[in-house]
Amino acid sequence: MGVADIVKVTIYLTQSVDADQRRALLQTFFGASQPCMTLLYVTALAASTLKVEIDVMASTQ
């Protein structure tokens, strides 16, 4: 499996991130692939030191 097989991404953030920087970073990683994405701002994650959690689903079919 590779980046092209990713079909869904959910990003959980505990603080605001510059939208232009976020888009540029995602474009660099995903390239031509365009998986469905959801971005959620949350109060906290499982540990107080965590700021970002990314959940990815991929499929080869």
Give the CATH number for residue 31: 3.30.1330.40
Instruction: Give pTM, 2 decimals.
Output: 0.86
Q: Quote the DSSP letter at residue 42.
A: -
Copy the structure tokens of residue 5. 């097989």
Contact 58, 6 (CB under 8 A): yes
* pLDDT attached to residue 34: 92
**With a cut of 70, which residues of the chain have pLDDT below it?**
none
- Domain of 36 in residue numbering reads as 3-58
- How many independent structural domains does the chain possess? 1
Give residue 22's Cα distance to chain centre.
9
